Amino acid sequence: MESYDVAIIGAGHNGLVCAAYLLKAGYTVLLLEARSVPGGAATTEEALPEAAPGFKFNLCAIDHEFIHLGPVVEELELHHYGLEYLFCDPVVFCPHPDGKYFLAHRSVEQTCAEIARYSDRDAKKYAEFTDYWQRVTQAIAPMFNAPPKSIIDIAGNYGWTNLKDLLSVIGGVDKTLDWVRDMLTSPKEILEEWFDSEFLKAPLARLASELGAPPSQKTIAIGAMMMSLRHNPGMARPRGGTGALTQALLNLVKSKGGVVLCDQPVKQVLVDDGRAVGVRVANGKEYRVNKGVISNIDAKRLFLQLVDSADIDSADPKLRDRVERRTANNNETILKIDCALSEVPRFEAYDHKDEYLVGSVLIADSVAHVEQAHSLAEIGQIPDSNPSMYLDVPTVLDPSMAPEGKHTLWIEFFAPYQIAGAEGTGLNGTGWTDELKNKVADRVIDKLADYAPNVKKAIIARRVESPAELGARLGAYKGNYYHLDMTLDQMMFFRPLPELANYKTPIEGLFLTGAGTHPGGSISGMPGRNCARVFLKHQQPFNERLKEASNFLKSRIEWVFKES
Ligand SMILES: Cc1cc2nc3c(=O)[nH]c(=O)nc-3n(C[C@H](O)[C@H](O)[C@H](O)COP(=O)(O)OP(=O)(O)OC[C@H]3O[C@@H](n4cnc5c(N)ncnc54)[C@H](O)[C@@H]3O)c2cc1C
């Protein structure tokens, strides 16, 4: 029987990041991946090999912002393993039905100049708004890069700049209360408080709602950060597609002796006397571990599908019930459209320039339009009578992803996982059929053609993936690519539940990482890194950990006296 120090369930980018840190610390690691390719929601695949050979598609993630708020790329020296980030500029283009458009550059000043063509007031407000959210980001980023219940780790991430930003956001009682209110309110309310113009509010609402909820949803005003991140640290894509990040991580993992086995869905975590001792995969093969099992899949899938109920109950009799009932996944996910194009979509009525297509293009006619896109999906209806969408033409920034002179089109359209009234029909009982997904995709393309009339003729071939197919491909519960909703009540030390929030579980040697843990979904690698740190600390004897903590406190006190 093969044995390793650690087995990781799933080779998503977080599983790979976690593996990389453990391998660097000298542990032996095996990653078991259900699909035939590693990467999870971070792959680039030649998905239309017959109809469009040579076209490479990001089947899921494309625009990377959060990873630049943490140290993963630098610490793991991923550029040595083939990763090169290309930063987008401009970062957003959103045509408005009345002929105006929002064009955001990486530079805030340039963006304000674009807004000022229509509203001086909103241009000035945009500069203040972005400054505020950038300070909020810097104030909380240290928390993203540490286990959420480890005060010492969090404190260790704060330097003067972050502290200054933190004080500027919460310095004084009224400021703090105002900030708390911002965290509790909705993107819609925040945008209405700051801006007058719909052409500006609509794209900002669309980006805020990338957290996976309507703009009117309370507690996700922090989604406003999604635009400010595009200015700083910026929005980038790996050359060659998101899969190039996965490939760099694989290169690193393999160079350190890590083993990645694909087509190996884990069916059971083996527990002996309250301790995780290995895993069993679908073909019955077992792998034993000396130190632990780490799950890149979320708590719900792990505890309700892969761990024997008696083993969980004896560790924590309430856990199964809490995981099943207290973690929330709304019904919203994505219908994904990838097209091979003979030419770029041209926004003729908007004085088309190819540079509009360097970043993301948003079709968001109003805040109400975005609201409808999300709220209908949540109640099981398909918001395709007037589709809102997020699209990219990645080949404008990176022509290597298609044959010379040709392009690809990436479209994200929010849609329900379970269609109301269609329960028990279609794929996995969701109501989704090939006919329906293609009908919806036609409507999405029709809407895009209202803005870019050449798009239909430019399509050489297309691939449409319904929410049910996306869920089946990723193995994600209800197709939730964040593993768990990203509302405030499920973030930080609440993610996925307080008792699981520090990446440990009540079963000794069983750890959790991935999008369903702090700080959540998206391409960041932070859950993978934080989990690895917790795992490594856990291996140290108690007196060493105590010594480390006291040394840390001493150095912090010295630092405070030196700086003051
Ligand atoms: C269409 C789409 C667009 C997106 N766009 C962006 C974007 O532009 N920017 C951004 O930052 N984020 C984006 N995201 C979100 C982001 O891709 C994910 O949140 C992130 O990739 C999650 O990474 P992860 O490693 O935590 O989990 P995953 O990528 O879900 O990895 C989990 C892995 O576990 C494997 N697995 C599941 N069950 C088993 C099992 N039983 N045994 C073994 N393996 C198993 C899966 O196959 C998968 O490889 C997008 C997501 C989607 C779906």
Check whether 100 has a pLDDT greater than 90: yes
pLDDT attached to residue 391 = 98
* Whether residue 468 is found in the same domain as residue 494: no
| Residue 297 beta carbon below 6 angstroms from any ligand 1 atom | yes
* Whether residue 311 is found in the same domain as residue 374: no
DSSP label at 407? E
* Whether residue 427 is found in the same domain as residue 373: yes
Q: Rounded to the nearest whole angstrom, what is the distance from the C-alpha of residue 50 to the centroid of ligand 1? A: 26
Check whether 118 has a pLDDT greater than 70: yes
End position of a domain, from candidates 208, 234, 260? 234
Vertex 478 angle, CA 488 and 375, to 5°? 60
Section 424-437 average pLDDT: 98
Q: Give counts: helices (H), strands (E), the chain.
A: 21, 18
Q: Whose CA is nearest to atom 37 of ligand 1?
A: 475
| Residue 296 beta carbon below 6 angstroms from any ligand 1 atom | yes
| Residue 69 beta carbon below 6 angstroms from any ligand 1 atom | no
Give the whole-angstrom CA distance, residue 283 versus residue 281. Answer: 6
User: Which positions ≥6 away from 338 have C-beta within 8 Å?
Assistant: 47, 48, 57, 59, 408, 409, 410, 411, 462, 463, 465
Six token digits for residue 369 = 């339009």
pLDDT attached to residue 549 = 72
Check whether 444 has a pLDDT greater than 90: yes
Check whether 182 has a pLDDT greater than 70: yes
Radius of gyration of the chain (CA): 23
How many structural domains does the chain have?
Answer: 3
Helix (H, G, I), strand (E, B) or coil at 81: helix
Q: Rounded to the nearest whole angstrom, what is the distance from the C-alpha of residue 515 to the centroid of ligand 1? A: 7
Six token digits for residue 104 = 């955001």
Section 178-192 average pLDDT: 95
pLDDT class of 316 with cuts at 50, 70, 90: very high
Q: Rounded to the nearest whole angstrom, what is the distance from the C-alpha of residue 484 to the centroid of ligand 1? A: 12
Kindly state whether residue 94 falls inside one of the protein's structural domains: no
Section 398-423 average pLDDT: 98
Q: Whose CA is nearest to atom 38 of ligand 1?
A: 475
Six token digits for residue 495 = 């993610």
Q: What is the secondary structure of 473-534 as a DSSP string?
A: HHT-GGG-TTSS--SGGGSGGGSS-GGGTTSB-SSBTEEE-STTSTT-SSS--HHHHHHHHH
Give the whole-angstrom CA distance, residue 225 versus residue 218. Answer: 15
User: What percentage of the chain reaches a pLDDT higher than 90?
Assistant: 91
Q: How far apart are the first and last CA of the chain?
A: 59
pLDDT attached to residue 139 = 94
Q: Rounded to the nearest whole angstrom, what is the distance from the C-alpha of residue 224 to the centroid of ligand 1? A: 23
* Whether residue 214 is found in the same domain as residue 295: no
User: Which positions ≥6 away from 539 have C-beta within 8 Å?
Assistant: 291
Give the whole-angstrom CA distance, residue 400 versus residue 409. Answer: 14
Q: Which residue from 37, 58, 60 has its CB within 8 A of the most atoms of ligand 1, so it is best to mutate?
A: 60
pLDDT class of 482 with cuts at 50, 70, 90: very high
pLDDT attached to residue 563 = 61
Judged by average pLDDT, the poorest of 76-90, 410-424, 452-466, 473-487 is: 473-487
End position of a domain, from candidates 475, 495, 527? 475
* Whether residue 215 is found in the same domain as residue 310: no
User: Which positions ≥6 away from 21 have C-beta within 8 Å?
Assistant: 76, 528, 529, 532, 533, 536
Q: What is the secondary structure of 302-359 as a DSSP string?
A: IIIIIS-HHHHHHH-TTHHHHHHHHS---SEEEEEEEEEESS----GGGT--GGGGSS
Vertex 530 angle, CA 527 and 532, to 5°? 105
Give the whole-angstrom CA distance, residue 145 versus residue 523. Answer: 14
Alpha carbon 324 to chain centroid distance?
23
Check whether 8 has a pLDDT greater than 70: yes
| Residue 481 beta carbon below 6 angstroms from any ligand 1 atom | yes
pLDDT attached to residue 543 = 72
Check whether 459 has a pLDDT greater than 70: yes
Alpha carbon 359 to chain centroid distance?
17
* Whether residue 378 is found in the same domain as residue 389: yes
Q: Rounded to the nearest whole angstrom, what is the distance from the C-alpha of residue 479 to the centroid of ligand 1? A: 10
pLDDT attached to residue 560 = 64
Kindly state whether residue 392 falls inside one of the protein's structural domains: yes
Check whether 553 has a pLDDT greater than 90: no
User: Which positions ≥6 away from 282 have C-beta within 8 Å?
Assistant: 264, 265, 266, 267
* Whether residue 510 is found in the same domain as residue 528: yes
| Residue 412 beta carbon below 6 angstroms from any ligand 1 atom | yes
Check whether 554 has a pLDDT greater than 90: no
Residue 293 phi, psi dihedral angles, 5° rounding: -120, 135
The ligand 1 atom at the shortest distance from the C-alpha of residue 13 is 25
pLDDT attached to residue 546 = 72
Check whether 562 has a pLDDT greater than 80: no
Check whether 273 has a pLDDT greater than 90: yes
Six token digits for residue 461 = 């071939």
pLDDT class of 171 with cuts at 50, 70, 90: confident
* Whether residue 192 is found in the same domain as residue 218: yes
Check whether 559 has a pLDDT greater than 70: no
Give the whole-angstrom CA distance, residue 272 versus residue 294. Answer: 16
Kindly state whether residue 47 falls inside one of the protein's structural domains: no
Instruction: Name the residue among 437, 439, 397 with its Cα closest to residue 416.
Output: 437
Kindly state whether residue 402 falls inside one of the protein's structural domains: yes
Q: Whose CA is nearest to atom 16 of ligand 1?
A: 522
Kindly state whether residue 26 falls inside one of the protein's structural domains: yes
Check whether 561 has a pLDDT greater than 70: no
SS (H, E, C) 353-398: CHHHHCCEEEECCCHHHHHHHHHHHHCCCCCCCCCCEEEECHHHHC
Q: Rounded to the nearest whole angstrom, what is the distance from the C-alpha of residue 312 to the centroid of ligand 1? A: 26
| Residue 474 beta carbon below 6 angstroms from any ligand 1 atom | yes
Check whether 103 has a pLDDT greater than 90: yes
| Residue 521 beta carbon below 6 angstroms from any ligand 1 atom | yes
| Residue 135 beta carbon below 6 angstroms from any ligand 1 atom | no
Q: Whose CA is nearest to atom 2 of ligand 1?
A: 60
Q: Kindly state the helix (H) or strand (E) to which residue 246 belongs, with its residue range.
A: helix 243-255
pLDDT attached to residue 115 = 98
* Whether residue 127 is found in the same domain as residue 202: yes
Kindly state whether residue 250 falls inside one of the protein's structural domains: yes
End position of a domain, from candidates 211, 234, 257? 234
* Whether residue 202 is found in the same domain as residue 189: yes
The ligand 1 atom at the shortest distance from the C-alpha of residue 62 is 8
Q: Rounded to the nearest whole angstrom, what is the distance from the C-alpha of residue 42 to the centroid of ligand 1? A: 6
Kindly state whether residue 93 falls inside one of the protein's structural domains: no
Helix (H, G, I), strand (E, B) or coil at 421: coil
pLDDT attached to residue 2 = 77
What rounded mean pLDDT belongs to the chain? 95
Check whether 555 has a pLDDT greater than 90: no
Give the whole-angstrom CA distance, residue 167 versus residue 139. Answer: 8
Kindly state whether residue 394 falls inside one of the protein's structural domains: yes
Sequence length of the chain is: 564
Give the whole-angstrom CA distance, residue 413 versus residue 444. Answer: 8
Q: Rounded to the nearest whole angstrom, what is the distance from the C-alpha of residue 299 to the centroid of ligand 1? A: 14
* Whether residue 249 is found in the same domain as residue 295: yes
Structural domain harbouring 138: 109-234
CATH number of the domain that 7 lies in?
A: 3.50.50.60
The ligand 1 atom at the shortest distance from the C-alpha of residue 479 is 53
Over the stretch 317-366, which tens digit does the pLDDT of each residue have? 999 999 999 998 899 999 999 999 999 999 999 999 999 999 999 999 99
Q: Whose CA is nearest to atom 6 of ligand 1?
A: 61
| Residue 514 beta carbon below 6 angstroms from any ligand 1 atom | yes
Q: Rounded to the nearest whole angstrom, what is the distance from the C-alpha of residue 282 to the centroid of ligand 1? A: 21
pLDDT attached to residue 518 = 97
DSSP label at 232? I
| Residue 207 beta carbon below 6 angstroms from any ligand 1 atom | no
Q: Rounded to the nearest whole angstrom, what is the distance from the C-alpha of residue 34 to the centroid of ligand 1? A: 12
* Whether residue 382 is found in the same domain as residue 460: yes
CA distances from 58 to 231, 321, 417, 429, 484 (A): 23, 36, 21, 27, 22
Instruction: Name the residue among 21, 157, 23 with its Cα closest to residue 513.
Output: 21
Burial class from Cβ neighbours inside 10 Å (0-12, 13-18, 19+) for residue 50 reads exposed
What sign for the dihedral angle of Cα 3, 4, 6, 12? negative
Section 386-396 average pLDDT: 98
pLDDT attached to residue 268 = 98
pLDDT attached to residue 551 = 73
